[in-house]
Chain A
Amino acid sequence: MSMANIAAPTIAVSGRDSTGPYGPKPRRMFSRRNIFLYGTLFVVAAYYLLPLYVMVVTSLKGMPEIRLGNIFSPPLEITFEPWVKAWSTACTGLNCDGLSRGFWNSVRITVPSVILSIAIASVNGYALANWRFKGADLFFTILIVGAFIPYQVMIYPIVIVLREIGLYGTIWGLVLVHSIFGMPILTLLFRNYFSSMPEELFRAARVDGAGFWGIYLRIMLPMSLPIFVVAIILQVTGIWNDFLFGVIYTKPDTYPMTVQLNNIVNSVQGVKEYNVNMAATLITGLVPLIVYFISGKLFVRGIAAGAVKG
């Protein structure tokens, strides 16, 4: 009872003051801060989306309509003709089967390259992070230095190497090149991710009797989905968008999509079919776009996880 008497007045005093601020601070929707923030975001978004808009619109127009010159106006008559042509009948050099050939070449290049490079790099990163073998630091340094050497320096030596092992001009030659060039950055990514995992987990697995592969496959792998997603995105977009290696290490029959796209767009013979060019470009860019959209959330999580700790 005496306790209640002491406590009650303080509560009553603060409760009686009904004029002062109470609860969450009110925020106005159209404050100056919000107008600035969303205004800037809107302008920047429009700036980046405008070219895409023009491409989509143009690809849906027929040539006569394009010649009118109103590039921002929506199509009067929507036609999918340019898309069909870009995919199946546009001519590149000798072949006239459109981008479809390049698309399947790119798939056949990208899938094995991504799988091979990630499989090797993840084991590299795991060994470097957890097994600390003799000379690990030296090995890691060499690998990282590799990331700083410009590709152009190595183009010719690689041509010779591929010729000597008989892979020049084949898809597998290009797969090999992509796998090797992906190694430094992917290894770094995986090493950082694995070294951010608690070391006691690794020790517990060793006490439990798991070996090098046992720990990798049964403990580490199931825990590293985010970083695998990051690696997959980096590799898929990097390899899919590659032009330089594609044009150098393959032949017209095995050209990836990017090289074919270039040949369609930059062909100097005949009329410039802007609508077909736009459609072809959109088709080529679709794969990386889809990959980003599907895995956006995991991508951010993995980048954050792989970035910390050097």
Chain B
Amino acid sequence: MAQNGTSVSIQDLSLNFGSVTVLETLNLDVAEGEFIVLLGPSGCGKSTLLNCIAGLLDVSEGRIFIKGMNVTWEEPKDRGIGMVFQSYALYPQMTVEKNLSFGLRVAGTPRDEIAKRIARAAEILQIEPLLQRKPAALSGGQRQRVAIGRALVRDVDVFLFDEPLSNLDAKLRAELRVEIKLLHRKLQNTMIYVTHDQIEAMTLADRIAVMKGGVIQQLDAPQTIYNRPVNRFVAGFLGSPAMNFLDGQVEAGAAFKTGNVSIPLDRYAFDAGGNSSGPCVFGIRPEHIAFGEAANTMPFAIDAAVEIVEPMGSDTLVWTKLGGHNFSFRVEAEKTLRNGEPIRIGFDPARASLFDTQSGNRI
């Protein structure tokens, strides 16, 4: 990926609606050609941030640069952005072709140039047969493709996606997700993509910015965010089924104690400056837990009993108790387990995450 220079730069951005602070001194640099996903629960300010970048909302403080130009006060059309909305936002009274060309016609682009660009966009998105139809005669997936096309014809530097797949059913969502990824590879444009769906975030992003309460919690590559979340919120938000959390104590940086269970921490990499004793939360993902024979090869293993079995088709989630806490882990779908059956589970503490109970930060 060609990542030379910054495409979008957000500096000390704040946004208040009256007394409510939606975004708080937010800083974000997006590299040229990068695919950034803004991920967070609803109300975390991710769509607001996108609207600020697009110029649809005035900022309370801070600056926004696109391609090195300060666009803080510019109109949306002058920012070199194209935007795709959740509800597609196609103009219902215009045909697909007119929808695609609307922006160009407003800008007074010559007719042959418009035709050329529409032909290119239609070819890329494979919507040539639909050009003369009205949006009402299109399916959800086709509508979203047209909406992407509308951004495409304007030949912009930055694509903004506002939960573009949320209105589609699961199957179409998976298909279009792949198409968006292919589109990014083909166009090499900068893309900023807002979603609350962690699968979309993990699969699409070069980097994910996890947001909460108008603040970016962590900005990193998907694998880093998944394996080394900086705080308990990020750890709990990503991953399905969710990470197991055990409340307890770290004792002299050597072991984690919860109930009558003691987990050795000599393999765990503490964060520099992390507090290595005191109350904390131990987090481990269900898929990092070994079961049966394999458990005995792990640095930590323990006996437990099956409480509930949740078959999910591709694999099965098993619930048990560990040190008095609910604890889940994944096994292959072929395993048949009965309730109450004694089992042995184990894991490598190096794959775990420890969070300070008070601040929630990783230690």
Contact of B85 among A200, A209, A214, A218 (CB under 8 A): A200
Task: Give the distance in Å from the alpha carbon of A207 to the alpha carbon of B151 in the complex.
Answer: 9
B236 at the interface (CB under 8 A from A): no
Report Cα–Cα, A198/B87, bound state, in Å.
8
Residues B77 and A222 in contact, CB atoms below 8 Å apart = no
Structural contact, B77 and A206, CB atoms closer than 8 A: yes
Q: Is the CB of A207 within 8 A of B92?
A: no
| Count of inter-chain pairs, beta carbons less than 8 A | 58
B89 at the A interface (CB under 8 A): yes
Residue A297 interfacial (CB < 8 Å): no
Check if A198 sits within 8 Å of B91, measured CB to CB: no
| In contact, B77 and A209 (Cβ under 8 angstroms) | yes
B10 within 8 A of A: no
Does A201 interact with chain B (Cβ within 8 Å)? yes
Tell me which of A198, A204, A219 contacts B150 (CB under 8 A): A204
- Taking the nearest CB of chain A, how far is it from the CB of B337, in angstroms? 28
Q: Which of A172-220 contact B (CB under 8 A)?
A: 198, 200-201, 203-210, 214, 218-219
Instruction: Pick the interface stretch among B20-28, B99-107, B216-224.
Output: B99-107
Q: Are A201 and B89 in contact (CB under 8 A)?
A: yes
Q: A209-B77, A209-B107, A210-B106 are in contact. Are A204 and B85 (CB under 8 A)?
A: yes
Name which residue of chain B comes closest to A202, CB basis. B89
**Main secondary structure on A side of the interface with B:** helix
* Bound Cα distance A125, B93 (Å): 21
Which has the most chain B C-beta neighbours within 10 Å: A204, A206, A223? A204
**B86 lies within 8 A of chain A by Cβ:** yes
* In the assembled complex, B76 has its CB within 8 A of some CB on chain A: yes
| Interface assignment of B54: CB less than 8 Å from any CB of chain A | yes
In the complex the two chains form, is A209's CB within 8 Å of B83's CB?
Answer: no
Contacts of B56 in A (CB 8 A): 203, 206-207
Interface residues on A, range: 10 to 19
Q: Are A204 and B83 in contact (CB under 8 A)?
A: yes
B85→A222 contact, CB < 8 A: no
- Name the CB-closest residue of B to A208: B103
A117 to chain B, nearest CB (A): 25
Chain B residues in 8 Å Cβ range of A223: 92-93
Q: Is the CB of A204 within 8 A of B89?
A: yes
Residue-wise interface mask of B (106-135) relative to A, using a CB-CB cutoff of 8 A (1 in contact, 0 not): 110000000000000000000000000000
A254 to B70, CA, bound (A): 61
With A209-B107, A223-B92 as given contacts, are A203 and B85 in contact (CB-CB < 8 Å)?
yes
**Separation of A214 and B56 alpha carbons in the complex (Å):** 16
Note all chain B residues with C-beta closer than 8 A to A206: 55-56, 75-77
* A208 pairs with B150, CB closer than 8 A: yes
Counting CB contacts under 8 A, is B82 at the interface? yes
Q: A200-B86, A207-B54, A223-B92 are in contact. Are A214 and B106 (CB under 8 A)?
A: yes
The answer, among A198, A207, A210, A219, for a CB contact under 8 Å with B81, is A207
A198-B107 in contact (CB<8A): no
A residues in contact with B89, CB < 8 Å: 198, 200-201, 203-204
Taking CB atoms and an 8 Å cut-off, the chain B residues in 327-357 that contact chain A are: none
Question: How far, in angstroms, from A218 to B76 measured CA to CA in the complex?
Answer: 18
Nearest A residue to B54, CB-CB:
A207
Nearest A-chain residue to B107, judged by Cβ? A209
Residue of chain A at shortest CB distance from B156: A207
Chain A: minimal CB distance from B131 (Å): 18
Q: How far is the CA of A209 from the CA of B87 in the complex (A)?
A: 19
Q: Are B87 and A208 in contact (CB under 8 A)?
A: no
Shortest CB distance A129–B (Å): 16
Which of B54, B55, B77, B91 contacts A219, CB < 8 Å? B91
Between A and B, 20 residue pairs with Cβ closer than 8 Å are: A198-B87, A200-B87, A200-B162, A203-B51, A203-B56, A204-B90, A204-B150, A205-B91, A206-B75, A206-B76, A206-B77, A207-B54, A207-B81, A207-B82, A207-B83, A208-B102, A208-B103, A208-B106, A208-B154, A209-B107
